[in-house]
């Protein structure tokens, strides 16, 4: 398809979708938006196809840099669990499971999104787009809603049957990597994915003031957040080092290593308020104290000390996981 100036679009769909629209007042992006919907000719198909393609391109596009980083020894000094680098076989296995969930769970839901959203009053093919001043607070509200939803649902998935038969798949990797952000049982993809889309749907139900371009911006940011949180790297420029209440990889990596604690996604405040970061804070305090006590030791000795503390935390996590699924504690943890 060649994206043309909207004024060159054949008239039948142009007149049906955009009567009396002044295209000269639209931005280049808005004109491409119009061109897409008119070229497809069916808003439901156009929205479904664009939504799914956007999700796949962003998810795998954002994961590729982390694959490259994992394959580059230079970055190991920022790896949170440097002794656990995902192999090509593990990443391929992860990719297959992710694609299975995307096509069996996310694709049908994405295709149903347009009629549901329009039924609730959301603008989809419409132009012009809302201003950044309008979009920014809406996206922030979606972040807050999803974070609390995930905090509650994630804890539920750590109990009994839900963990053993659903969430256990996601915890296969005690040292996560970017691609593993959506490595999960299809039921988990549905449950936790609900938090991402329910915020916008509830918002438009009550306000009748939401454009799907805002939802797209939110989903792109949410995908970046999820993939980066599973990356396993903590750089000096990582967002949590700039915004203290942001979770990031340093926060979520502990959850995979220790099995317990740190259930939220984007922000740290719910775990702090409800005390579900106590083991994490104790671990950080032990690491800090040990580093202070060994500041004159060699780098190798400091790394051994930190690895010993990580091994202790992971051993506790193995016991906690066994209790959650009602089985005998394991002695070996598969990365």
Q: Please write the tens of the pLDDT for every residue from 142-162.
A: 999 999 999 999 999 999 899
pLDDT digits (tens, 9 = 90+) for 102-142: 999 999 988 888 889 889 999 999 999 999 999 999 999 99
Predicted pLDDT at 2: 46
CA 223 distance to own-chain centroid: 4
Contacts for 220 with CB less than 8 Å, ≥ 6 apart = 54, 58
Cα-based torsion angle of the residue sequence 262, 263, 267, 269 in order, rounded to the nearest 10 degrees:
-70
For residue 254, give the nearest of 169, 324, 320 by alpha carbon: 320
Question: Burial code of 122-134, b = ≥16 C-beta within 10 A, e = fewer?
Answer: bbbbbbebeeeee
Q: Which of 316, 303, 317, 332 is nearest to 81 (CA)?
A: 303
What is residue 332's predicted lDDT score, i.e. its pLDDT?
43
d(CA 265, CA 145): 11
User: pLDDT averaged over consecutive 10-residue blocks of the chain (335 residues)?
Assistant: 50 77 91 92 92 96 97 95 93 95 91 88 95 98 98 95 94 94 94 94 96 97 97 96 95 94 96 96 92 84 87 90 73 43
How many Å apart are CA 264 and CA 262, to the nearest integer? 6
pLDDT at 19: 85
In sequence order, the β-bridge partners of residue 267 are 246
Is the peptide bond between 128 and the residue preceding it cis, with omega within 30 degrees of 0? Answer: yes
* Tally of CB atoms within 10 A around 77: 9
Q: How far apart are CA 182 and CA 265, in angstroms?
A: 13
User: 49 in the Ramachandran plot: left (φ > 0), alpha (ψ -120 to 50) or beta?
Assistant: alpha
Question: What's the pLDDT score for residue 124?
Answer: 93
Q: How far from each other are the two terminal CA atoms of the chain, in whole angstroms? A: 44
pTM (2 d.p.): 0.91
In this prediction, residue 328 carries a pLDDT of 54
């Amino acid at each position: 398809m060649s994206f043309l100036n909207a004024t060159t679009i054949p008239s039948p769909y142009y007149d049906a979708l955009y009567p009396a629209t002044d295209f000269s007042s639209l931005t280049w992006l808005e004109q491409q938006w119009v061109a897409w919907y008119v070229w497809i000719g069916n808003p439901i198909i156009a929205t479904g196809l664009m939504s799914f393609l956007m999700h796949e391109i962003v998810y795998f596009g954002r994961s590729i840099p982390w694959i490259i980083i994992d394959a580059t020894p230079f970055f190991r000094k920022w790896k949170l669990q440097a002794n656990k680098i995902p192999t090509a076989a593990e990443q391929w296995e992860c990719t297959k499971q992710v694609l299975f969930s995307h096509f069996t769970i996310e694709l049908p839901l994405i295709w149903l999104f347009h009629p549901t959203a329009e039924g609730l009053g959301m603008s989809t093919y419409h132009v012009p787009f809302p201003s950044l001043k309008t979009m920014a607070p809406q996206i922030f509200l979606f972040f807050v809603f999803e974070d609390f939803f995930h905090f509650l649902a994630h804890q539920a998935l750590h109990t009994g049957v839900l963990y053993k038969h659903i969430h256990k798949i996601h915890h296969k990797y005690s040292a996560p990597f970017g691609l593993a952000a959506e490595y999960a049982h299809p039921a988990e993809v549905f449950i936790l994915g609900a938090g991402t889309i329910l915020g916008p749907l509830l918002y438009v139900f009550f306000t009748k003031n939401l454009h799907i371009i805002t939802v797209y911006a939110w989903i792109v940011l949410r995908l970046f957040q999820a993939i980066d949180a599973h990356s396993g790297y903590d750089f000096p420029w990582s967002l949590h080092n700039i915004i203290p209440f942001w979770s990031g990889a340093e926060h979520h990596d502990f959850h995979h290593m220790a099995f317990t604690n740190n259930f939220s996604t984007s922000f740290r405040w719910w775990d702090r308020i409800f005390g579900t970061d106590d083991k994490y804070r104790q671990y950080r305090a032990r690491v800090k104290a040990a580093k202070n006590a060994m500041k004159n030791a060699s780098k190798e000795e400091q790394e051994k000390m930190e690895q010993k503390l990580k091994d202790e935390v992971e051993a506790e996590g193995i016991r906690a996981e066994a209790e959650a699924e009602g089985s005998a504690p394991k002695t070996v943890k598969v990365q």
